[in-house]
Amino acid sequence: MKSIISKLNKAFESRVKLGIMSVLVVNDYVDFNTLKELIQTSDGNLASHLRILENGGLIKVTKQFVGRKPKTTYKATSLGKKLFKQHINALEELIKKK
Amino acid sequence: MMTNQHDHFKDIQDIKSMMEKSSKFLSLSGLSGISAGVIALIGAAVAFFLLDYGSIKYDENFYLLPPHQYEHIMISLFLLGLIVLVSALGSGFYFSWRKAKKQNLPIINRTTYLLLNSLLIPLITGGILCIIIFFRHDVNRLASITLIFYGLGLVSASKYTLSEIQYLGISEIILGLLAAIFINYGLIFWALGFGVLHIVYGIIAYIRHEK
């Protein structure tokens, strides 16, 4: 039991981070507003969670201009996808053990 | 420990729902299918009357009808088709809009674009082909072509919405191919494909996702 719990990744503990990663593993890339709409949290809260994930190398941030408007898109890195899948597997194992 | 277990379960549920919500257009309502199917059946019945209760055969000799009669029927059928298309789309949109409102989801978001993008390419191709064929007087192929291209559109759009749509698309393609073989029964295949299938799959989707 203990070994499975240790497989749970601390990086995905918060609900917001869990939400961000869930969206990014099934979509090529997603912009800030779409994430906000899906996760339903404040700009500041979302941005700070995104920054932590970016610093951990789990997501990649791209800034570009669409016309005159800046647009920021987010993408899961291969490391991020791998770790998130491990996290899901660990969660599923834990539920089965019940 | 108990609360922990519960949290893990909720985590998995949250992950699944977030994955679905972000990549699929889930507001498509079974009622949209049912209403579109009913409208198509009414349209097929009106077409049957326009063809003089079936006395005018929709077959390879169709264009050999006296010109004034041919023109009259073609214009009526064309207008009928347009009315059926617009009202089926309208009712489909209405019920999906209602479902989106209930789910608290925006009706137009990224997944709407993904869905429409993959649906419209085969659909518009088929539509243009139909117009070409219409003017070439090869009208007895129209039922088959509309069914096949609509089916292809559904199959290609199905990865962005409810899984039932894929089976609906495959069924439409099979009916379309059959309609190409049994060319004299075009109207019946058309009524089966756009009427009966929509109603059947609409009911299945409604029971599975909205009840």
**Which domain CATH number covers A46?**
1.10.10.10
| Position B144 in a domain | yes
Angstrom CA distances, A48 to A51, A54, B53, B75, stand at 5, 10, 69, 62
Q: Total domain count for chain A?
A: 1
Domain that holds residue A93: 2-97
Collect all residues from A whose CB is shorter than 8 A from any CB in B: 15, 18-19, 22-23, 25-27, 30, 34, 37-39, 88, 91-92, 94-95, 98
| Position B202 in a domain | yes
Model confidence at A46, pLDDT cuts 50, 70, 90, reads very high
Q: Are B140 and B186 in contact (CB under 8 A)?
A: yes
Integer Cα distance of B115 and B156 in angstroms = 9
Strands of the sheet with A59-66, listed across from one edge: A30-31, A69-76, A59-66
Among B197, B201, B195, B161, residue whose Cα is nearest residue B31:
B201
The pLDDT value given to residue B67: 78
The average pLDDT across B156-175 equals 94
Q: What is the pLDDT of residues B4-41, one digit of tens each?
A: 555 788 888 889 888 988 888 888 999 999 999 999 99
The pLDDT value given to residue B6: 59
Q: Are B11 and A92 within 8 A, CB to CB?
A: no
Q: What is the pLDDT of residues B46-66, one digit of tens each?
A: 998 888 766 676 666 666 777
Integer Cα distance of B109 and A2 in angstroms = 42
The pLDDT value given to residue B2: 46
Integer Cα distance of B183 and A4 in angstroms = 63
Paired tokens of A63 = 């800034």
Integer Cα distance of B179 and B184 in angstroms = 8
The three-point CA angle B119-B121-B124 to 5° equals 100
ipTM (interface predicted TM): 0.81
Q: Is B143 exposed, middle or buried (0-12, 13-18, 19+ CB in 10 A)?
A: buried
- Chain A residue numbers with beta carbons less than 8 Å from the beta carbon of B22 are 22-23, 26-27, 30, 34, 38
Q: Are A26 and B19 within 8 A, CB to CB?
A: yes
Out of A19, A92, A98, whose CB is closest to B18?
A: A19
Angstrom CA distances, B76 to B52, B57, B110, B138, stand at 12, 16, 38, 17
Q: What is the pLDDT of residues B180-195, one digit of tens each?
A: 999 888 889 999 999 9
CA of A87 vs chain B CAs: smallest distance (Å)? 10
Residue type, A65: F
Q: For chain A, give the mean pLDDT.
A: 87
Out of A25, A30, A92, whose CB is closest to B12?
A: A92
The average pLDDT across B155-165 equals 92
- Chain A residue numbers with beta carbons less than 8 Å from the beta carbon of B113 are none
| Position B91 in a domain | yes
Range scoring the smallest mean pLDDT among A4-13, B20-29, B103-112: A4-13
| Position B21 in a domain | no
The pLDDT value given to residue B125: 96
Domain that holds residue B108: 27-209
Q: What is the pTM of this model?
A: 0.80
Paired tokens of B125 = 């191709």
Q: B82 by DSSP, 3-state: which?
A: helix
| Position B2 in a domain | no
Q: Total domain count for chain B?
A: 1
Model confidence at A5, pLDDT cuts 50, 70, 90, reads low
The pLDDT value given to residue A68: 85
Among A65, A63, A58, residue whose Cα is nearest residue A84:
A58
The pLDDT value given to residue B1: 43
